[in-house]
Structure 1
Amino acid sequence: MIPTPDLSHLTKDDYEYVYEPAEDTFLFLDGLELEVDELRTSKPSICLEIGSGSGCVSAFLASILGTSTALFLCTDINQFASSCTLATGRQNKTPLDPIIGSLATPLLQRLRHSVDILLFNPPYVPTNMDEADGAQHTAGIQGSWAGGTDGMQVTDVFLKDVEVLLSDTGKFYLVAIKQNDIPGIRHRMMTEYGLKSVIITQRRAGREHLFIIKFSR
């Protein structure tokens, strides 16, 4: 069993501004651990996490892959999250490179068809559109969960960029809940972008039914 990254450097005050790892985070770690052989065999060079928050998931991925050959890039609209991601990398002796920005916007052209491992735990909770828009605009902690209509408002924007980012052998791992319409997401990614998918794990957590979906060419 691969240890959860050390987050002891983060405080209660940090979690006032940055999403604290919860059931969705830990399911994401479990899903990546299930993929450990494939992840290592693929020898990825560029890994990118969208919305890295505390940096827990990228630090975990780095512990799976090692840090000698792969680059671990992390974006987040929240400046506090970027600071926490950097600190988590240092705490776990993994070189995480945080970038403040919306989704993959700052890197989209530079990383065109270059990302080997793409990670996204989006704001998937269904809310009204104004709440989701406001959360993205203020770039605070609400942006980590307020997902707008069907919880897909932010995810829908990013899904258009996935095929552009993925390398020929790239893998995209997405966290979603049942209300997001999992079959609809998978069908759209196949018909519009030619990306096949598989659900690698799922779990009920309170009222949420969480899924980790893997997409590839």
Structure 2
Amino acid sequence: MLPTPDLSHLSKEDLMNVYEPAEDTFILLDALENDASSLQDMKPLICLEIGSGSGCVSAFLSSILGPRSALYLCTDINQHAAACTVRTGAQNNVDLSSVVADLGTPFIDRLRSSVDILLFNPPYVPTDMGEAEFAQSSRNIQSSWAGGTDGMSVTNNLLFSVPTLLSKTGRFYLVAVEPNNVQRILHWMLEQYQLVGQVALKRRAGRELLYVLRFERQCL
């Protein structure tokens, strides 16, 4: 079992502004570790995490693939999170390049069909749309969990760009919860973009039923 990345450098003040790794983070780490062998076989060159928060997930991915075997890119709408991601990379001996940005916007054109591993643990908690819109505009820790109607307002915005970013053999990992309607997500990605999805891991954490969905391009 691979260790969780070292986050001892994060202060109490950091964790007041940046989402602290929790069960949704750990299920994504476990899904990646379960797929470690096949991920290594892919020999990915470009990895992109959307909403990197503390940087824990990308640092963990680097422990699977090797810190110098791929380019590790991260985005977060929260400038505190972007800074913490860089520091987490340094703490764990990997260069995590972090950009303050809304989803994958800066990379849509320059990384078209180039991202081999795409990761997103979105703000998935169902809230009213006003709360979700305020959270995104505030660009603070609230933006890491307020998900709007069905918890899907931010996720839906990213799903449109996944087919553009993903390489021919790329994989997309998405964290979701039961109210997000997992089967609808799987069906929509297949129907609209010929991306085949499956439940890579499912786990109950308190009142939440957490999922990690894994998507790949349909083989023709």
TM-score band w.r.t. shorter chain: over 0.9
* Long gaps (5+) in structure 1: none
What is the CA distance between 1:198 and its match in structure 2?
1.2
**Residues 92-115 of structure 1: CA deviation (Å, up to 9, x unaligned):** 001100000000001110000000
Aligned-pair identity in percent equals: 59
Distance in 2 of aligned mates of 1:213 and 1:167 = 17
Contact 2:67/2:93, CA 8 A, preserved across alignment: no
Moved over 3 A (4+): none
**Higher mean C-alpha deviation, range 24-33 or range 62-71:** 62-71
Equivalent residue runs for 1:1-217 within 5 Å: 1-217=1-217
Letter in 1 for 2:73: L
What SS is found at the alignment partner of 2:210? Answer: strand
Cα distance in structure 2, aligned partners of 1:69 and 1:108: 23
Question: 2:137 and 2:107 mapped to 1: Cα distance?
Answer: 20
Equivalent position amino acid for 1:122 in 2: P
TM-score when normalising by structure 2: 0.98
Corresponding residue pairs, total: 217
2:5 maps to amino acid: P
By how many angstroms is 1:67 displaced?
2.1
Q: Provide the secondary structure at the position in 2 that maps to 1:204.
A: strand
CA RMSD of aligned residues (A): 0.5
CA distance in 2, matches of 1:77, 1:47: 18
Per the TM alignment, residue 16 of structure 1 is displaced from its structure 2 partner at its CA by: 0.5
TM-score (norm 1): 0.99
| Counterpart AA for 1:39 | L
Q: How many angstroms apart in 2 are the aligned matches of 1:164 and 1:206? A: 36
